Amino acid sequence: MNQTKRSVTINPGMLCQPIGAMQAVLGIHGAISLVHGSQGCAAYPMRMFNRHFQEPVEIALSSLGEDAAVFGGADNLVKGVHTLAARRHPEMIVVLTTCLSETIGDDIDGILKKIEVPVTLIPVHTPSYVGSHVTGYDNAIKALVVHLAEQTGPTNKINIAIGLLNPGDIRELRSMLDKMRVKAILLTDLSETLDAPLILPRPTFPNGGTTLNEITDTANSLGSIAMCKHAGGSAMQYLANKHKVPVILGATPIGVANTDVFLENVSNLSGRPVADELRRDRGRLIDAMIDVHFKVAQKKVAIFADPDIASGMARFVHELGMEPSIIATGTESKEFVKDVQAIASQTGHEMEILSGCDLYGLHEAVKEVGVDLVMGNSHCKYIADDEKIAFARIGFPVFDRVGYQRRSIIGYEGGINLVDMITNSILDHADAA
């Protein structure tokens, strides 16, 4: 498809930086985000998280108004930090900038250095007029290790940057690591904080999450792996440059080949062999793929997701015998384009690659190429409905179905979940036709 450069975005395909940074902070025990911006900069993200994770999410706000736009928002930020520290007693407050606070030029780094509270304060620059939620997540993870990581002596752990994945994915990751008896520091772990059990009385902060001590200890690990290099890769690279922690920026472990490589990387860094139980899991995934082959083979697929998820999914649908025809992401990335081009070269498929596209551009590509299945977040449903094709939900946000956030898409078990979801989406569509 010939992409025409438009001067307007129609139905954006990505979210703003602060949302990604907030998700990173939500995976830290006792931490809370303080958004240095106006009301909507906290209200909208909270609503997005509520709908996707089905959990209550609290985001603090400095409540900038018209006066701050003229005179600066330093007073609001100072009062916000003191109030939050006094009322919630967090272990850490992560201050996130927005379009407004960046435009008026508030020096949050300097302001925070002058505030005296018994709380760790971390500034993160996340202006919404550049990048996306993926960029914001990456910036937040890097800020955490820059401010907290400290060499105190070698450990037998490895660092794993999770990326913008779900609680179910983190539980599957932990299961794989447990089977290999590998200890890891996860940046960051929202498996309990955004899928918490109902406990009364309700704790001030959810149990679980990555601790500040663990983040400090990342400088002493055996090595680092970024499961989503666009979302966490820069933090792992910083640890390599600053603290000489070996780093691997690989593909997201979606499907057979990518999971194989991921487990080999874990084995090489930790010195632990890949467990026989994981090999059995691999065999079950391959068996599931064979079971559905005649139902899905040669079906054309359009995939829309964050860069690392989209490229990982492209390889997996090829493994299923399908044709990854359109691979799209809302985040502009040359690295994404190179990754997908490499997959196209290795598999022999012709793929339409859309980097930094909006949903209008995706819809136009779907109409031009002609596909049998669309895979994307809940907003992509309308494309599938309009074109009368099958639809499978992946990515963020998924708000029109229950339980997506609890199911994994990574690893061999996640691959089985994907096999079932993809096949059932095609069968449901055929039944409805």
**Per-residue pLDDT tens over the stretch 103-113:** 999 999 999 99
In a domain? residue 197: yes
Q: Which residue has 């099958």 as its token pair?
A: 390
- Residue 174: which domain range? 158-275
Convert the pLDDT of each residue in 264-289 to its tens digit: 999 999 999 999 999 999 999 999 99
> 163 with 250, same domain?
yes
Residue 298's SS3 state is coil
pLDDT band, very low/low/confident/very high, at 200 (cuts 50, 70, 90)? confident
> 224 with 332, same domain?
no
- In this predicted structure, the answer to whether residue 2 has a pLDDT above a threshold of 50 is no
> 385 with 299, same domain?
yes
- In this predicted structure, the answer to whether residue 368 has a pLDDT above a threshold of 60 is yes
Quote the mean pLDDT of the chain. 95
> 271 with 301, same domain?
no
Please provide the DSSP assignment of 325-384 as one string: EEEEESS--HHHHHHHHHHHHHH----EEEES--HHHHHHHHHHH--SEEEE-GGGHHHH
> 166 with 122, same domain?
no
In a domain? residue 223: yes
Cβ count within 10 A of residue 156: 12
In a domain? residue 260: yes
Q: How far apart are CA 174 and CA 411, in angstroms?
A: 11
In a domain? residue 421: no
pLDDT band, very low/low/confident/very high, at 307 (cuts 50, 70, 90)? very high
CATH of the domain at 79: 3.40.50.1980
Q: Which residues contact 349 (CB under 8 A, 6 or more apart)?
A: 318, 323, 324, 325, 343
- In this predicted structure, the answer to whether residue 1 has a pLDDT above a threshold of 60 is no
In a domain? residue 232: yes
> 270 with 309, same domain?
no
> 298 with 266, same domain?
no
In a domain? residue 416: no
In a domain? residue 419: no
> 22 with 122, same domain?
yes
Q: Which of 114, 132, 150 is the last residue of a domain?
A: 132
In a domain? residue 148: no
pLDDT band, very low/low/confident/very high, at 4 (cuts 50, 70, 90)? low
Q: What is the pLDDT of residue 179?
A: 98
- The total domain count for the chain is 3
Q: What is the pLDDT of residue 203?
A: 86
> For the residues 394-416, what does the mean pLDDT come to?
96
> 265 with 344, same domain?
no
